Structure 1
Amino acid sequence: MGLVSKIIGAVVLQVISTCLSVMVLGSILLKWFKVGNAIFSSKPRPTPPTILEDPKWGSHGYITLKKQAIKIHYVEKGDRGNPLMLCLHGFPEFWFSWRYQLAEFSSKYWVVAVDMRGYGDSDKPSQCSAYEIEHLVEDIKQMVLELGKEKCILMAHDWGGAIAWRVVNSHPDLFEHHISFNGPHPGAYMEHAKSSFKQMCMSWYMIFFRTPWVPEFWISNNDFEFFGPVFRGEKNNTEAFPNEVIDAYKYNYSKKGALTPPINYYRSIDFNRNDKISRTTVPTLIIWGTDDMALGKPMAAYALKWCESAQLKYIEGASHWVQQEEPDKVNSLVWEYLNDAAIAAK
């Protein structure tokens, strides 16, 4: 019965994915009728935008994860003798999404914002299986060790957040604190999705992204037009995401071969997995933008039930991209949490 259920589930997912792809291709075709062949063109971007090379974000480096045989690019700021604060981005981001935290927390911490495997200037394995969750979790464990630290503070967002929940559970001794920004706890996500048709609709892209080549075509069409609406949202928040920031994302993803590996994270999801999810023992702070277009607000509260020691702070009106959109509020909450933890430890 288990095998039959898996087969039926795989067929249903494939049918839904195909239907979503047809709808997306239809929308692109309609756009083609309106604007012509321009939707198939992209602006050449041979050099990075100035904002990506601003030294105030930090300096660039690489580490090789020997066990994984993969090279990871990162941006660091702060004294290497200070406690490590490791930052994991989500989709469709790269190290740049942590620019405000690199600048803010480097006064007391060694802040390292990585390009996850497959992203930015990190290695991009070609096999889809290279992006299965076991490899992603092992990457984070090895990063901490290769950076020469026995413990660190782990900050993570979106996909990085989903990985972080798993790595703090499987390797709790490596982490002093865990700070999650709109990052879905796997148990909380399933609990909410099963009870919320709205969340199932909000997660449509997770199934759509399983389709070959269509997601890449959709994101890249009309000179990567995708990045403006996805970051600015319905409010068209050009203050948090001005053109220079959108151009940074377009530059990153317009590089040859830059789109498929990040999308392979979704293609590698095994929806039939039934892992036993353990409680999180690492002290955790959850910061959640309430206007998240991809992850429903109840998910944040559900995550508390999976933690032995956790705090939840909402930022009302903030979008999914909370640490970029409301950096001052986010940074203030993180400082408050870490300072209180330091006082309590004395």
Structure 2
Amino acid sequence: MKQQAKVVRFAVPEGRGEYGTQGEREMRRSNALLEETVRQRTAELERTNARLEESLRQLQIAQAQLLFAERLATIGQLAAGLGHEINNPLAFILGNLDYVQQQLARTSGAPSPEDSQEMMEALADARDGAERVRLIVRDLKVLSHPNDMELGPVDVVATLRGAAKVAAYEVRGRARLVEALDAVPPVNAHRARLCQVFLNLLINAAHAIPPGQATRNEIRLSARMDGTTRVLVEVSDTGCGISPGNLERIFSPFFTTKPVGVGTGLGLSVCHGIVTALGGDISVESEVGRGSTFRVSLPVYEASCIEVGSSRAA
């Protein structure tokens, strides 16, 4: 009798053959959902970035307008003094030209050598006065130039002297202006904004000294190299000084020790913003009753930095 072979059958759970296909469909569905989520999040981030960029642009515009407004406010405060500074040389010019005109009318022909010499001297004096007016107007033009973000090489010494000319009426009658300006390389800056910094520091120094004591006080401007890559500018005065409590807030917006209606309280805050935006530093050292020294450190223009380094190495 033959033994029959046993056939073993394994029970396949219902739907087992469809597991692979169903799993793939679920995975594809999950991947599609994930991709859609990523696309939505990416689009949302792009919209957020666009809003942030627009907000940053608006803030930059507002900052530029604030800097320009503060600069014009400073010029407005100096308007009377600037008119005096321009009026004096103009009166001098007109007086000398009137003299030459009268001399020519009197001689009614070829003047004598003595008369010619006097008229030549009068014309030279008139030309000097006109040059003084031209320089004042040039420095005012620099200050009133609209803001832009373009940086480049700026002559620190020329900018300091330009600011000193504009502030001359404020300084005169309060202190002697002393200059100790070394030949320094250009710094990487914006000329109008840098002039605004120096002008504000000069005006503050002048206002720290009571009028009528020019022989006993001085405001000192100095410029020198600080290492090989930075220029250090100092504006020092022998005025009333700043109390320790105020020193901590001296660069804060709208903080001022001046009477109400005098100044905007933004001068030093604006100076701090301009200098730090240029990659520089500004600091102050002061003692009550002995005066203050403001220090501005600025990076040398890169091409000049290379030249200074190579010349010193040689």
> Could you say which TM-score interval applies, normalised by the shorter chain?
under 0.3
Would you tell me which structure has more helix in proportion to its own residues? 2
Higher relative contact order (CA 8 A, sep 6+): 1
Q: Given the two structures, how large is their TM-score scaled by the length of structure 1? A: 0.22
**Which of structures 1 and 2 has the bigger CA Rg?**
2
